[in-house]
Chains A and B, each alone.
Chain A
Amino acid sequence: MSESAVTAEAPTAGLPPGDDDAGFFQKHGATIIFLAPALVLLGVWIVYPTIRTIIRSFYDRSGDDFIGIDNYRTLFTDDTLVTAIQNNLLWLLVVPFFVTAIGLVFAVLLERIRFSVAFKVVVFMPMAISLFAAGVIWRLMYEKDPSQGTVNAAIAVVADAVSPSGVLAAAQPSTEQLQADSGGSLVLDEPLEPGAVAQLGLTGIRSSEVPADAVQAVVPEALSGGITGVVWRDFKPGGGTPGTVEEEELGLPGVTVVLQDADGRSVAEATTEPDGTFAFEEVEAGPYRAAIGAKTFQESYAGVSWLSEGLITPAIMMAYVWVWAGFSMVVIAAGLAAIPRDLLEAARTDGATEWQVFRRVTVPLLMPVLAVVFITMLIYVLKVFDIVIAIAPGSVQDDANVIALAMWRTSFGGVNDFGLGAAIAVFLFLLVIPILALNIRRFRREV
C-alpha cells in the first residue's frame, strides 16, 4: 500500500517510505526546526547526563563492575551519608517554615509603616549576594574569637559589661604553694602569723602586660605585729627559679591582696606597690592566709563556638534564612497588596481584633502565595549546598553535611567514588520530583 503511494508521488520520492511520515514532516516541519535547538541542548545537557548518572549509580568506583543496588545500600548505612540525610530532613522541617513565617511577618508589619520601601530594600539586599559570598561573610561573622567574629563581638560587649575582665586574666601561680580556691581566688597554702613574709609569685603574664610603673621586685622586711609580702612576676628570660624573687623579675603593682582568717573570711585588704610589696600592719595573732582576689583573674568573654559540631547546622540555617527572608517578604508583600481591602475593613467593622483579622482573613487569603514561597523553599533547601560548604570549617563538614554536599564530596571532594556519588545524585533527584510535581500541578490549576 505505502509503496504504491510513494511511487505515485514523485516529489516525495527522496523521503523515507510511508505516507504517514511525509504528512508528519509537512505538518510539523516548522515546529521541529524551531524546537530542535532547545531539544538538542536539553538532550546534551539534561537528558543524557541524567540517564548516564542513573546508569553510573549501579556501577562500582572504577566504573567497570555492575554492583546492583549496593551504592544505594551504602547510602543508607554509611554514617556520614545518614547524617547528611538527617540534616537535610532537619533543613526541610525548619528552614521553609521560618523563611515563610519571617517573610510574612515582615510583609504584614512593613505595610503599616512609613519608609517601608527602605526597609524592604534592606531586607531584600542579601538576595543580591551569591549564596557562596553570603556564606563567606557569615563564616567570618561566626569566628569564635570576639576580636574577629562580629556575632561574638556583639555578645562580648554585653558580657564584659556584666563581668569585666581582670587586670591579670592570664596569670597562673608559679608554684604549687599558691592554689586556686573554689571562688577563683589564688590562696597561699602556708598559714601566716604576724611577722611572716608572704611570697605570691605569678607567671603567664606577658612582659608587655606588666604595668608600666613596675620595678624590680623585692622581698620586704618582716614587720613585727604585721604581715608583709610581695606579688611579683616570677619569670625572667629562660625561666628562672620558680618561687624565688630574682634579679630582672618585676613586682606587680596595683594587685589587691586579701588577708583571710582561719574560717576564710577576709579581714583586711592591701594594694601592692610598684615593687610588688604589700603590708598588713597591726594584725592579731593568726593563723591567716594571703589571697589574690578572683576579680584579678576574671577572663574576658571567650565567645560562643558557633562553628563547632553542635551549633554548626543551626548557624548555617540562620544565615540561609537571612538570605531568603527578603525573597519571601517581597513575594508575600505582593500577594498582600492584591487582597481586597474591603474584606479586611468588613472584618474590622464586625468587631474582629487585629490578630483575628490576620489569623482568619489575611492568612487564608494569602494561602496560595504562602504555598508558592513554601514549596519553592522546599526545593531550594533540598538542594542546599554552597552556603554549607562556605560556612562549615573542614573539621565539622561531616556534622553539617547535607545530601548535595555529600554528593559533591563523594564524587569530587577526595573520595573519588563516582558510583556512590551518582547514587546520591539520583536519590536527591527522586526527592525533588514529588515537590516539582506538586508545583506543576498548582501552576496548571492556577492557569
Chain B
Amino acid sequence: MRSRWVVCALLVAALAFVAAGCGGDDNGGGAEGSEDVTGEIAIMAIWSGAEQESFEAVIGGFNELYPNVTVNYTSGGDNLAPLLSTAVEGGNPPDLAAIAQPGLMAQFAEQGAIQPVDDLRDAIVDNFGEAVADVGSVDGTQYAVLFKASNKATVWYNVASFEEAGVEPPETWDEFLETAETLKAAGITPFSVGVDVGWPITDFFENVYIRTAGADMYDQLASHEIPWTDQSVKDALAVMAEIVGDSSNLAGGTETSLQTEMPASVAKVFSESPEAAMVIIGDFAPGVNADNPLEAETGYNVFTFPSIEGSDPASIGSGDLFVQFRDSPAADAFLEYVTTPEAAAIWAGRGGFSSPNKNLDTSVYPDEITRVTAGALAEAEVFRFDMSDLQPSAFGGTPGAGLFKAFTDFIANPDDIDGITQQMENDATRAFAG
C-alpha cells in the first residue's frame, strides 16, 4: 500500500509540473512523455470503423510519448453501456472507457467502480474551462475527462430549399418561425423530425430551455432540484409547440415523424429531392448517412440554434468522457494525454471530431463547417451537457422510457403540456429515488 502512495505522490508532482508547463505556454505544450511508464491498458469506447481508425491514430500519438505502454482498444459499439455495466457487475472492467452518459458515470462513481482523477483537475480546467471540467465531476470529485464532444445547438438546412423559398438562415426564434412559414408558402415542408427513439427531441427541448429559462435553471432541472412540472418547463414546451404542434410543419406529418429514425430524418434534408428544409440535430449530422449526396456549404449548411428573446449564445453539447476503472501509471498517463490539445489535434485533423479544448487551434479542422460548429462549442459563453445524458439512465437514456418516452408523447399530443410534464415528474421522482 505504501509504495502505491509513493507512486501516486510522484504522479501528482509530475502532473503539477506538467500543468505548470502548460500554463506558461499558450500553445499548450503539455504533453511530455516518459519511457519509464510501462504496462498494458485496455480501453473501451463506442468508436468503430473510421472513428476507430482515428482513435487508433490518437493512441499512436500517445505511444510516441510513452513507447513502453501497450494500449489495447476494443470497440463496444452501440452496446457500450450494457457491456460496461455487465463487465462491472462481473468484476472485470477495462482500465479505461469513454462513455457518453455522465449519468452512467455518476452511477459508476456511486458504486465505487471508477477511480477519482482529482489530480487531473487543473489540467482539465486549463484546457477546457470550468464548465466542461464540471461535466466530468460528481459531488466535487473529478472522475472523467471530456475528450470528444459534439455541438448539439445546430440546425442543418438544405441550401437549394432555402434558395427556392428565398430565405436566409434565421438568427432569432421569430425569424425562425417566419422562415418556416415562408417555406410552407413555397410548398416546402420546413422540418424533418425523427422521433422514433425520442432523443433528438430532448436535444431540441434542451436548446429551447437553456435559452428561455437560463443556465441556472437548466442546472437545477438537470439535478432535479426543481420539478419537471415547473412553469419554466411548460413555457419551453409551449415554445417548442409553435413548431412541432403543427403537423404541417413536419415532413410526413406527426404520425410519420413518430416512426422516423434519426438517420432517416437527416436523409430527408440531405437529399437531392429533399422532403424537408431543416433538421434540428447535432453537429454529427453530415456523417450520419454514408451516402449523403450533397456537398458541404453548397448542398447543405448549418446555422446555430436561434436566440430566443435575446438570449446569449449557449451551447448544448454531448461527448465521450474517459473514466478510469483501474488505476495504474499507464492509465494515468493516457488520461493525462487526452486532456492535451495535441491529442485532440490528431483526431480533429482527420475529421468527424469536435473538441471543447480551448487551446486547440481551430485551423486543424478539415472544413469550414466543422470550424464553425466546433468553434462555437469551445467559445460558447454558456456550455451545458446534454441534459438527458445527465439523468439517471432509467430516466434519461432508455429508449421508450422516461424522458425519451415523454417527448415522444409530447410530439404525439403537443396540447397536453400539463399531462406530459406530470408524467416526466413522476418518472423523474422514481428514477432519482431508485
Q: Which residues of A line the B interface, CB within 8 A?
A: 61-63, 80, 143-145, 170, 172, 174, 203-207, 209, 234-239, 242, 302, 305, 307-308, 393-398, 401, 409, 411-418
B185, A394: Cβ atoms under 8 Å?
no
Interface string of B308-346 (1 = CB under 8 A from A): 000000000000000000000000000000000000000
Using Cβ atoms and an 8 Å threshold, which residues of chain A touch B126?
none
With A62-B111, A238-B182, A412-B86 as given contacts, are A206 and B188 in contact (CB-CB < 8 Å)?
Answer: yes
Decide yes or no whether B376 CB sits under 8 A from chain A: no
Contact of A418 among B79, B89, B181, B393 (CB under 8 A): B89
Interface string of B177-211 (1 = CB under 8 A from A): 00001101111100000011110000000000000
Complex Cα distance, B111 from A409, in Å, reads: 21
B400, A396: Cβ atoms under 8 Å?
yes
With A61-B434, A395-B400, A412-B86 as given contacts, are A235 and B258 in contact (CB-CB < 8 Å)?
Answer: no
Q: Which residue from chain A places its CB closest to the CB of B164 in the assembled complex?
A: A207
Number of B residues contacting the other chain (C-beta, 8 Å)? Answer: 44
Interface string of B198-232 (1 = CB under 8 A from A): 10000000000000000000000000000000000
B186, A237: Cβ atoms under 8 Å?
yes
A413, B185: Cβ atoms under 8 Å?
no
A238, B167: Cβ atoms under 8 Å?
yes
B255, A305: Cβ atoms under 8 Å?
yes
Complex Cα distance, B400 from A231, in Å, reads: 47
> Which residues in window 242-277 of B have CB below 8 A to A?
252-253, 255-256, 258-259, 261
Q: Which residue from chain A places its CB closest to the CB of B186 in the assembled complex?
A: A235
Contact of B394 among A401, A412, A414 (CB under 8 A): A414
Q: Can you list 16 contacts pairing A with B, beta carbon distance less than 8 Å?
A: A204-B184, A209-B187, A236-B166, A237-B164, A237-B166, A237-B186, A305-B255, A308-B255, A308-B259, A394-B197, A396-B400, A398-B400, A411-B82, A412-B85, A414-B397, A416-B107
Task: Name the 5 nearest CB pairs between A and B, nearest first.
Answer: A237-B166, A414-B398, A397-B400, A394-B197, A238-B166
Decide yes or no whether B362 CB sits under 8 A from chain A: no
B401, A398: Cβ atoms under 8 Å?
yes
B164, A63: Cβ atoms under 8 Å?
no
Report the minimal beta-carbon distance from B340 to chain A, rounded to whole angstroms: 32
B187, A394: Cβ atoms under 8 Å?
no
Q: Which residue from chain A places its CB closest to the CB of B108 in the assembled complex?
A: A416
A144, B252: Cβ atoms under 8 Å?
yes
Report the minimal beta-carbon distance from B406 to chain A, rounded to whole angstroms: 11
Decide yes or no whether B405 CB sits under 8 A from chain A: yes
Contact of A415 among B163, B184, B398 (CB under 8 A): B398
The DSSP consensus for interface residues of chain A is: loop
Complex Cα distance, B85 from A308, in Å, reads: 32
B165, A204: Cβ atoms under 8 Å?
no
Q: Which residues of B line the A interface, CB within 8 A?
A: 79, 81-82, 85-86, 89, 104, 107, 110-111, 163-167, 181-182, 184-188, 195-198, 252-253, 255-256, 258-259, 261, 393-394, 397-401, 404-405, 408, 434
A143, B259: Cβ atoms under 8 Å?
yes
Tell me the total A-B contact number using a CB cutoff of 8 A: 123
Complex Cα distance, B184 from A242, in Å, reads: 13
B256, A145: Cβ atoms under 8 Å?
yes
Q: Which residue from chain A places its CB closest to the CB of B253 in the assembled complex?
A: A302
Complex Cα distance, B198 from A174, in Å, reads: 34
Using Cβ atoms and an 8 Å threshold, which residues of chain B touch A205?
187
Using Cβ atoms and an 8 Å threshold, which residues of chain B touch A308?
255, 258-259
B258, A395: Cβ atoms under 8 Å?
yes
Using Cβ atoms and an 8 Å threshold, which residues of chain B touch A80?
401
Complex Cα distance, B399 from A80, in Å, reads: 12
Complex Cα distance, B196 from A302, in Å, reads: 19
With A416-B82, A416-B393 as given contacts, are A393 and B166 in contact (CB-CB < 8 Å)?
Answer: no
Q: Which residue from chain A places its CB closest to the CB of B185 in the assembled complex?
A: A203
Contact of B82 among A63, A235, A413 (CB under 8 A): A413
Complex Cα distance, B181 from A63, in Å, reads: 54
Q: Which residue from chain B places its CB closest to the CB of A237 in the assembled complex?
A: B166
Using Cβ atoms and an 8 Å threshold, which residues of chain A touch B187?
170, 203-207, 209, 235
B81, A414: Cβ atoms under 8 Å?
yes
Most A-side CB within 10 Å, residue of B184, B187, B195: B187
Q: Which residue from chain A places its CB closest to the CB of B179 in the assembled complex?
A: A239
Using Cβ atoms and an 8 Å threshold, which residues of chain A touch B86?
412
B253, A239: Cβ atoms under 8 Å?
no
With A395-B198, A416-B393 as given contacts, are A144 and B82 in contact (CB-CB < 8 Å)?
Answer: no
Complex Cα distance, B181 from A235, in Å, reads: 11
Q: With contacts A239-B185, A409-B398 known, what are 13 further pairs, Cβ within 8 A?
A: A204-B184, A206-B188, A236-B166, A237-B163, A239-B182, A302-B253, A395-B259, A395-B400, A409-B401, A412-B79, A412-B86, A417-B394, A417-B434
